[in-house]
Structure 1
Amino acid sequence: MRAHYKVWPKRLPHTITVPATSLWDNLATSARRYPDKPAMVFFGRSISYAELHEKAERVAACLHALGVKKGDRVLLSMQNCPQLVIAHFGILRANAVVVPVNPMNRAEELKHYITDPDARVAITTADLAAELAQANSALEPAQRLQHLLVTHFTDCFDGAVDGPDAPPDTWRDWLLTQHAAPVLDGGQVHHWEAVMGTPGAPPALTVGSADLAVLPYTSGTTGLPKGCMHTHASIMHNAVASGLWGNGTMENVTLMVVPMFHITGMVSLMHTNICAGATMVIMPRWDRDLAGRLISRYQVTHWTNIPTMVIDLMASPNFALYDLSSMVYIGGGGAAMPQAVAQRLLEQFGLRYVEGYGLTETAAPSHSNPPDAPKQQCLGIPFMGVDARVVDPDTLKELPVGEQGEILICGPQVFQGYWKRPDATAAVFVQIDGKRFFRSGDLGHVDADGYFFLTDRLKRMINASGFKVWPAEVEALMFRHPAIQEACIISTKDSYRGESVKAVVVLRASHKGQVSEQNLIDWCRENMAVYKVPRSVQFVDALPKSGAGKVMWRKLQEAENP
């Protein structure tokens, strides 16, 4: 028996039977069961399950009329908004494949997302449409989009909203500006109003659990981003399992601020909530005081986030005004939650921060902490249906408790492979004991209770005079310093040691100007092994973050050692 079964939630089975239906069926079922229940709330505008279902069918009918066939890939590039959910399910209803794209991508990057999946149709918001059109114009005529469906944020909310639901003043130009439609070289632009007015029925639903459903891209360490082929079944597994794991019911009210183009927001939040018939309170991007107001106003019960969001919310001067008493679940991933912050959540609100772990290739969670028995700064235990092991990266031999190696994952949520990349697919899968394991590329260890801990990426190690320094460990230690809000550890060239440790630090507002580089180095020397201590500290106003909220350590590393 695997060690983690000793701490497994007693109310849950180790594996589940995944519905043999498409992801669209989850929305159709919830709309029949709860037609008048709010599916989404966006700046005070409530959209029922029946309305969501009808609007998604209009998108499907439009795509069908534009020639989209079963298995065709359709780009979807938006910040969080109701139209993202409507379009996502509309694409699935048209028997097509969703290609979620980070809305922060610029034209040069977007070209790859058009050409690699051979997309002919894209759906976006008006503020991003010009960037897609520019990317499209730079392509050969045979590679270009044929249709671009464009919506304004105000298609789904009243721009005059005020009170606790109102967007921050700094967002108003972004949200309310009416952008002129761009010219799509070789194609047509379709406005949301016309899409919603498409007559006729969508095509017959012919996709099933084995068909391709979504094609999210992952950047990896080298080369262009690769598409991860996920079927309806692999997404369905984690949509259902995430709901069960987090004590989900149709009465959940979930704060949706993790981006839904990202695998966690898409699967563990959007699909999980739609499957349950829950209500999603949607934020298009992060703002700590808007989050505080929405949690209070809508009595949010569940909030999956990036730890930096919690740190920021708790640092708000208005934090004492917000009512977090309705919350029963708070958790997330992408970075370790600082122990001091997790402890404050527990002591002040009785909330145990539940960390999890997963990759685009595993449809979000492959590991999660048991909600009733989480360990801090821990990936958790293998998720439902998962066999995870820590092995020697060279021999693939399973390692004993406490020894560091590569994390391997086998489970029903693991992707089929990389789109058009059989070479890359072959490189990340291995056969062990007759099972197909995915090589995560992450280093970690497992403790005696079966909990997994992340050490770092295989590629992210600092070798200082033969001593191996793992940046995540140093970052976790530095978070304990009262002046440090965020820290990222990178390597810097050292003529004597080969490499040395450098800390890029964001100070808390209350400590700026009061703490020097030497103060922090001295503190580190007192709190960690000498070979881990940063030899230099750089103060910055903010760390670069991806659209998913993860610290982009590679960007800092490349700037340090170009």
Structure 2
Amino acid sequence: MSVTDRPHHRFWPRRLPRELVVPETSLVANLEISARRYPDKPACRFFGRSVSYRELLAQAEALAGWLQSVGVRRGDRVLLYLQNCPQFVAAVYGILRADAVVVPVNPMNRAEEFGHYITDPEARVAICSADLAGVVAPADAALPGPQRLAEVLVVRYADALPAGPLPAAEAPGEATEAWLRADPPLPEAAPGGPRWTLWADALAAAPVPRPAQAGPDDLALLPYTSGTTGLPKGCLHTHRSLMHNAASGVWNYAGAEAVSLSVVPMFHITGMVYGVLGTVFFGGTGVILPRWDRELAARLIALHRISHWVCIPTMIIDLLASPNLERFDLSSLRSLSGGGAAMPQAVAQRLQERFGLAFAEGYGLTETAAPSHINPPERPKQQCLGMPIFGTDARVVDPVTLAELPPGEVGEIVTRGPMLFQGYWKHPQATAAAFVTLAGDRSGARFFRTGDLGRMDEDGYFFLTDRLKRMINASGYKVWPAEVETLLFRHPAVQEACVIAARDAYRGETVKAVVVLRPEARGHTREQDILDWAREHMAAYKAPRLVEFVDTLPKSGAGKVMWRLLQDRESERGAA
């Protein structure tokens, strides 16, 4: 069955083409065009202050000039390490305008984790928030001289806030406002270490950037994703692959009139595509939240008449749990979609009954620049990944023979399309293993192995059933056990560790560590000691929430830890 004759085409939205024709330009051209079309229109709103398209372009140009003045050249990688804010959006386009590559880093990462993002992409420049400078400094100081950063540009969130008090309707809680307004001192410059510069000072004195050179096939984004073994790997995305999914917002009725709630983290591929690239592509407005706050989110939806919201199901679950639910006005929402975790059927039903909103689930990976499948708003199915989007071909195949399976049978989901990444940064073997040709397919087309097990129904909709990869999905955050295990081995009391998923009523899944203590630590180390240490040394979403001490871990005849046996035991406990 060819890509032009797939079952889901019977239910393809009649308003949409099967494939998109996207611009043969860099992503920066999208900002330049939107700034010419809508110069005074808000590109971003942030706690009562707006940044127009004219201002956003000026900031991006100034940042590009500064980056080039400190030695950034075409193809260089620049780290971006901060929460959602207008400066994040400006930084993405400024880095791209300098013909460089954006390397987004999870702001929850700690110093022990951050060092990898300096050394692996061979970055010499980082942009971070003032509160995270205290993470960057020790991470950088621990590296050998040739691998250290040369420049760090420091963002203060307060610079994006209104000069006076925040409008009452848009004010966050006291703790969040205090965090936004905090102005910690910059780390002291040390011999061999980076120069620290404030964002506002750098942009004010920046020279005019050189003419842009990057084209559609230049590398634009290097988001990191972990795997079954080792440290996180960078995914090579070009301007072209990202342009496709930025333009794919037409699936959910995106346009210049769209007002989006940008609360999904922008460092994440979903937040990047929808909150940074897609909004600017269409000339829409993004209302930015750096942290999830259900009461504030509801107020912003009503105040700004937000029309589009891409989120994760836990946000909806939390929103519906509010004691103020009956007072929420969500009538402006025209598109509510997301993924990262399955939307519980009861929650989707309540959302439909209370607000008349259908939640359109989608599916994608960092390697697919977020969506490869989305439910059509006209005909969504619950707890379903949706159908392959524009120009995308997806199949369910036998994981061993790679033969395509008929509807209803479970196998591995494989996909190909214009949004696919080029491969893994500096990992040719992993790249080669990620792409396959299907048995009996004479076209020779390469499909990407998602590592997810699923099935396709008779209508061509896809459903997730299990995973081939060892991955934990905690509230939409992907946690890779091998990475957590590597970090746990740094604890002086840990002899062996195996990380598995445990059921969690709110997060869906959570992280559990099965630990064998060193002999001298037994009787002296508590489970809570491991939990406390983990929260201090790794990002909160990946730190274990549960610890179980055992005398030994089950192992195969080859000496490998039988993680699947531990996972099955845990699943049986959760089902009991």
**TM-score, normalised on structure 1?**
0.83
Do the aligned residues in 2 keep the contact of 1:336 with 1:377 (CA within 8 Å)?
Answer: yes
Superposed displacement of residue 248, structure 1: 0.9
| Closer, same or farther: CA 222–68 of 1 in aligned 2, 3 Å | same
- Which of residues 199, 204, 227 is equivalent to 1:192? 199
Do the aligned residues in 2 keep the contact of 1:136 with 1:184 (CA within 8 Å)?
Answer: no
Whether 2:63 is the aligned partner of 1:59: answer yes
Do the aligned residues in 2 keep the contact of 1:337 with 1:376 (CA within 8 Å)?
Answer: yes
- Deviation track 1:391-431 (CA, whole Å, cap 9, x = no partner) reads 01011011111111110010010000000000111111112
| Closer, same or farther: CA 401–175 of 1 in aligned 2, 3 Å | same
Whether 2:199 is the aligned partner of 1:174: answer no
- The residue number in structure 2 matching 1:529 is none
Superposed displacement of residue 269, structure 1: 2.8
* One-letter amino acid of the counterpart of residue 152, structure 1: R
* One-letter amino acid of the counterpart of residue 389, structure 2: F
Do the aligned residues in 2 keep the contact of 1:75 with 1:99 (CA within 8 Å)?
Answer: yes
* One-letter amino acid of the counterpart of residue 201, structure 1: V
Provide the rounded CA distance (Å) in 1 between the counterparts of 2:461 and 2:433: 27
Superposed displacement of residue 200, structure 1: 2.5
Provide the rounded CA distance (Å) in 2 between the counterparts of 1:98 and 1:560: 41
- The residue number in structure 1 matching 2:96 is 92
- Which of residues 441, 456, 459 is equivalent to 1:449? 459
Provide the rounded CA distance (Å) in 1 between the counterparts of 2:549 and 2:365: 27
- The residue number in structure 2 matching 1:371 is 377
- The residue number in structure 1 matching 2:386 is 380
Do the aligned residues in 2 keep the contact of 1:335 with 1:550 (CA within 8 Å)?
Answer: no
* One-letter amino acid of the counterpart of residue 104, structure 2: P
- The residue number in structure 2 matching 1:160 is 165
- The residue number in structure 1 matching 2:491 is none
- Deviation track 1:106-161 (CA, whole Å, cap 9, x = no partner) reads 00100000000000000011000110111000000100000000011011113621
- Deviation track 1:317-367 (CA, whole Å, cap 9, x = no partner) reads 122222101010101000011111111222222211000000000000010
- Which of residues 286, 297, 301 is equivalent to 1:280? 286
- Deviation track 1:484-504 (CA, whole Å, cap 9, x = no partner) reads xxxx9x9xxxxxxxxx99644
Matches for 1:391-430 after TM superposition, within 5 Å: 391-430=397-436
* One-letter amino acid of the counterpart of residue 86, structure 2: P
- Which of residues 89, 113, 119 is equivalent to 1:115? 119
Provide the rounded CA distance (Å) in 2 between the counterparts of 1:27 and 1:143: 33
| Closer, same or farther: CA 19–170 of 1 in aligned 2, 3 Å | same
Matches for 1:75-90 after TM superposition, within 5 Å: 75-90=79-94
Provide the rounded CA distance (Å) in 2 between the counterparts of 1:9 and 1:550: 40
| Closer, same or farther: CA 437–34 of 1 in aligned 2, 3 Å | same
Do the aligned residues in 1 keep the contact of 2:228 with 2:470 (CA within 8 Å)?
Answer: no
Provide the rounded CA distance (Å) in 2 between the counterparts of 1:228 and 1:183: 34
- The residue number in structure 1 matching 2:236 is 229
- The residue number in structure 2 matching 1:315 is 321
Do the aligned residues in 1 keep the contact of 2:299 with 2:328 (CA within 8 Å)?
Answer: yes
Superposed displacement of residue 505, structure 1: 3.6
| Closer, same or farther: CA 34–420 of 1 in aligned 2, 3 Å | same
Alignment gaps of 5+ in structure 2 = 482-499, 508-533, 554-576
Provide the rounded CA distance (Å) in 2 between the counterparts of 1:45 and 1:167: 14
SS in 2 for 1:98: strand
Provide the rounded CA distance (Å) in 2 between the counterparts of 1:501 and 1:233: 36
Provide the rounded CA distance (Å) in 1 between the counterparts of 2:344 and 2:322: 17
SS in 2 for 1:274: helix
- The residue number in structure 2 matching 1:512 is none
| Closer, same or farther: CA 160–33 of 1 in aligned 2, 3 Å | same
| Closer, same or farther: CA 556–435 of 1 in aligned 2, 3 Å | farther
SS in 1 for 2:217: coil
| Closer, same or farther: CA 555–458 of 1 in aligned 2, 3 Å | farther
- The residue number in structure 2 matching 1:300 is 306
Percent of residue pairs identical = 57
- The residue number in structure 2 matching 1:104 is 108
- Deviation track 1:442-496 (CA, whole Å, cap 9, x = no partner) reads 11000000000011211459xxxxxxxxx99xx99xxxxxxxxxxx9x9xxxxxx
Instruction: Work out the number of aligned pairs and report it.
Output: 489
**TM-score, normalised on structure 2?**
0.81
SS in 2 for 1:134: helix
| Closer, same or farther: CA 286–412 of 1 in aligned 2, 3 Å | same
Do the aligned residues in 2 keep the contact of 1:37 with 1:49 (CA within 8 Å)?
Answer: yes
Do the aligned residues in 1 keep the contact of 2:189 with 2:196 (CA within 8 Å)?
Answer: yes
- The residue number in structure 2 matching 1:510 is none
- The residue number in structure 2 matching 1:212 is 219
Superposed displacement of residue 45, structure 1: 0.3
| Closer, same or farther: CA 557–245 of 1 in aligned 2, 3 Å | farther
